C-alpha cells in the first residue's frame, strides 16, 4: 500500500488544519468505499481532507498537480457506480463541511450554494419562499448538489421538470492549475461561447473541482396529488404510459413497479394500500387546483381505457404521504431480500417499455436471478434491481452474463445504459456500447485539455 510521506502530510495539514485531515489508516479506510461492492480489491486513499473554503481547494489542487497525485471529490458518497472510489489512491476531498446555501435570490429566481449543500436542504429552504428546485434523486436526504451535478442526477420528476442538468445556471470550478473559473454568468441566458456549464455537468469529477453552483428556481406548484393505478398486464400499464404521453398530459411523475417489487414491499412492510398486480403506476400531478383536477380525471379515464384493474388516488395530504411512503419502501424492501442489491439504470424509448420489461423478466428466469423492476416509466428509465449475494462466484458470474444480455438488448432498442446514475468505475467498460470510437476520442481530448496530468478522479468514465 502506497502511503504518503510525512513531509507531504505536514504540508497538507498546514493547508487544512490538523482537525480537517485524516491520515491514519483506520480513518482513511471508510473512504475507500461508496455504494458499490468491490470484493477484496480495496483502494484506500492516502489522505482525506475536509475543505472549508476555496482557497484551501486551490492550494490542494496545485499541490496535487505538482506532485501528480490523484484527487477525488466526494459529496455524500451515494452514487451507484463507484465514482468516489480512489482507484489510484491519492487525496479525497470530502465536502461535508462546505454545505452552505449562500444566497437565495428571489428577484432573479436563482440560488447559489456551496458544493456540499444537501439537495434536500436546498429544496426545503427554497420551498419556504414559495420556490421550487425540482431535481429529486432518491438519496436527496443526504446527497450533495456537487455530487448531483457531477453525476447529472435526476429522479421521478424528470418526466415533467427535467433533471439537475436543466437547473444549472453557473458553476464555479477550480481547474487543474488551481485557478478559479466561472462556466457562465448568473443570468437566465448566456450563449457567449461553448457551453462549458453542461460540459462539467455529468463530468464525474474528472475535469475539475466544482466549488459553487448557481441553480435555477421556478415557482412552487400550488397543489400536488398522487394516485396509484394497478394493471393485470405489463402491456396495459405501458399502454397507459404511452397514452398519457401521447395525450400531452404532464403529470410530474409516472413511476412503475412490477409485481415482484409490490410483493417484496408487502412482505417486509405491508402498507395496506398496495394490491398484488402485474404492474402499478405511481402518478403524481401538480399545478393549480383546477388544472390538477382536470388532469386527474383525464388520467383516470386513460388508465381505465387501458383496463386498469384498480385506481386509488389520495384525497388528502395524509393519503398522499401514505402512497409515497409505500413507494419509498420499494428500495429498502428489495434491499432486505438478499445480501447485495445492484441497481441498473437503463433507458429505452418510452414506446419500447413493454419489450424491455419482458426481456428483463425473461433474463431473470434464464439466469435464475431475482430481479425486481421499478423505474421512471414516463422517461423509459428502468431500474432493474438484482438481488443477490456477490460473494458467491456462481451468482456473480450469472449476474455478469445477465447484465451483458440486458445491455445488448437496450442498445438494440436504441437506448442507453446510464440514465441518471452515471458511468463511474462500474460501467466504464460499457461506455463504448453507447459511444462511437470517435466520440470517445473527442472525450479523451477534452479530458486532456482540462487535466493533462490526469489527477482528477482517475480510472473513471473513460
Partner 1 sequence: MKNFYDYKDEIYTCSRCGLCQSVCPIYEVTKKETTVSRGFFSLLNGIIKGHLKFNKKIRKNIDTCLNCNKCKDYCPSGIDAEKIIISAKIASYNYAPLWKKFILRGLYSKKFLNLASFIKLYLIFPILNFNKIGKILYEFLKPNIQYKKQSTNKSSDLKVAIFAGCINNYFNPSSLNAMKMILEQNGIKYSTPDFDCCTMPAYNIGDIENFKKFAKKNLAKIPAEIDYILFDCATCKKAFKIYIELFEGEEKQKAQNIFDKCKHVNEFLLEQNIDLPQIKDKAFYHTPCHLDCESKTIELMQKMDIEIIPSEKRCCGSAGLFFIENAKISNTLAQKKAHEIQASKSELIITDCPLCRLGLLKGLIFDKIDKKIVNFAEIIAKNLKNDTKV
Binding site for partner 1 (CB under 8 A): 22, 24-27, 29-35, 40, 42, 50, 76-78, 94, 96-97, 99, 118, 120, 139, 141-143, 268, 331-332, 335-336, 339-341, 391
- Round to whole Å and give the CA distance between 371 and 360: 8
- Is residue 411 classed exposed, middle or buried when 0-12, 13-18 and 19+ CB atoms within 10 A define those classes? middle
Cβ closest to partner 1, residue 24 vs residue 436: 24
In angstroms, what is the minimal distance from the CB of 110 to partner 1? 26
Q: Hey, which bits of 115-245 come out as E strands?
A: 131-132, 168-174, 180-182, 209-216, 218-219, 223-231
In angstroms, what is the minimal distance from the CB of 136 to partner 1? 15
In angstroms, what is the minimal distance from the CB of 228 to partner 1? 21
Cβ closest to partner 1, residue 40 vs residue 394: 40
Q: Identify the CA nearest to 258 among candidates 174, 106, 377, 347.
A: 377
Cβ closest to partner 1, residue 139 vs residue 457: 139
In Å, how far are 72, 434, 454 from 65, measured between CA atoms? 13, 32, 9
In angstroms, what is the minimal distance from the CB of 116 to partner 1? 9
Cβ closest to partner 1, residue 38 vs residue 67: 38
In angstroms, what is the minimal distance from the CB of 358 to partner 1? 28
Cβ closest to partner 1, residue 29 vs residue 63: 29
Cβ closest to partner 1, residue 308 vs residue 330: 330
Beta strand pairing status for 279-287 and 223-231?
antiparallel
Cβ closest to partner 1, residue 20 vs residue 108: 20
The answer to whether 235 and 354 are in contact (CB under 8 A) is yes
192-197, long-range: CB < 8 A, 24+ apart: 196/171, 197/168, 197/169, 197/170, 197/171
The answer to whether 227 and 296 are in contact (CB under 8 A) is yes
- Round to whole Å and give the CA distance between 264 and 372: 9
In angstroms, what is the minimal distance from the CB of 317 to partner 1? 17
- Round to whole Å and give the CA distance between 113 and 146: 9
In angstroms, what is the minimal distance from the CB of 248 to partner 1? 36
The answer to whether 268 and 336 are in contact (CB under 8 A) is yes
Estimate to the nearest angstrom the gap between the alpha carbon of 287 and the chain centroid: 25
Amino acid at each position: 500500500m502506497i502511503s504518503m510521506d510525512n513531509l507531504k502530510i505536514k504540508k497538507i495539514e498546514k493547508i487544512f488544519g490538523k482537525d480537517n485531515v485524516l491520515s491514519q489508516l483506520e480513518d482513511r479506510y471508510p473512504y475507500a468505499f461508496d455504494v458499490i461492492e468491490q470484493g477484496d480489491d480495496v483502494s484506500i486513499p492516502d489522505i482525506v481532507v475536509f475543505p472549508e473554503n476555496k482557497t484551501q481547494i486551490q492550494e490542494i489542487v496545485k499541490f496535487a498537480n505538482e506532485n501528480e497525485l490523484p484527487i477525488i471529490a466526494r459529496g455524500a458518497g451515494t452514487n451507484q457506480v463507484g465514482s468516489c472510489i480512489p482507484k489510484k489512491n491519492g487525496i479525497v476531498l470530502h465536502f461535508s463541511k462546505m454545505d452552505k446555501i449562500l444566497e437565495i435570490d428571489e428577484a432573479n429566481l436563482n440560488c447559489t450554494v456551496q458544493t456540499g449543500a444537501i439537495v434536500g436542504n436546498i429544496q426545503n429552504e427554497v420551498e419556504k419562499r414559495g420556490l421550487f428546485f425540482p431535481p429529486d434523486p432518491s438519496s436527496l436526504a443526504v446527497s450533495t448538489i456537487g455530487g448531483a451535478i457531477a453525476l447529472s442526477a435526476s429522479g421521478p420528476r424528470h418526466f415533467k421538470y427535467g433533471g439537475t442538468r436543466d437547473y444549472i445556471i453557473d458553476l464555479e470550478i477550480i481547474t487543474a492549475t488551481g485557478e478559479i473559473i466561472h462556466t457562465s454568468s448568473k443570468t437566465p441566458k448566456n450563449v457567449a461561447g461553448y457551453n462549458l456549464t453542461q460540459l462539467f455537468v455529468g463530468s464525474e469529477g474528472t475535469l475539475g473541482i466544482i466549488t459553487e453552483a448557481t441553480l435555477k428556481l421556478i415557482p412552487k406548484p400550488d397543489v400536488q396529488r398522487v394516485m396509484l393505478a394497478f394493471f393485470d398486464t405489463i402491456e396495459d400499464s405501458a399502454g397507459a404510459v404511452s397514452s398519457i404521453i401521447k395525450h400531452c398530459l404532464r403529470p410530474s411523475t409516472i413511476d412503475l413497479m412490477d409485481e415482484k417489487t409490490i410483493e417484496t414491499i408487502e412482505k417486509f412492510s405491508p402498507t395496506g394500500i398496495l394490491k398484488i398486480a402485474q404492474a402499478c403506476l405511481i402518478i403524481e400531478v401538480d399545478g393549480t387546483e383546477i388544472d390538477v383536477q382536470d388532469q386527474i380525471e383525464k388520467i383516470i379515464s386513460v388508465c381505465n381505457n387501458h383496463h386498469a384493474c384498480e385506481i386509488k388516488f389520495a384525497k388528502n395530504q395524509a393519503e398522499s404521504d401514505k402512497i409515497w411512503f409505500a413507494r419509498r419502501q420499494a428500495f429498502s424492501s428489495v434491499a432486505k431480500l438478499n445480501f447485495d442489491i445492484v441497481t441498473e439504470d437503463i433507458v429505452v424509448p418510452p414506446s419500447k417499455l413493454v419489450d424491455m420489461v419482458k426481456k428483463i423478466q425473461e433474463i431473470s428466469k434464464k439466469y435464475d436471478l431475482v430481479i425486481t423492476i421499478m423505474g421512471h416509466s414516463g422517461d423509459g428509465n428502468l431500474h432493474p434491481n438484482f438481488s443477490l449475494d456477490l460473494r458467491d462466484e456462481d451468482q456473480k458470474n450469472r449476474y455478469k452474463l445477465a447484465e451483458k444480455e440486458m445491455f445488448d438488448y437496450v442498445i438494440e432498442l436504441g437506448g442507453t445504459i446510464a440514465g441518471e446514475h452515471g458511468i463511474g468505475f462500474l460501467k466504464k467498460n460499457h461506455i463504448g456500447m453507447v459511444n462511437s470510437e470517435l466520440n470517445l476520442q473527442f472525450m479523451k481530448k477534452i479530458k486532456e485539455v482540462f487535466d493533462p496530468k490526469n489527477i482528477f478522479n482517475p480510472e473513471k468514465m473513460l
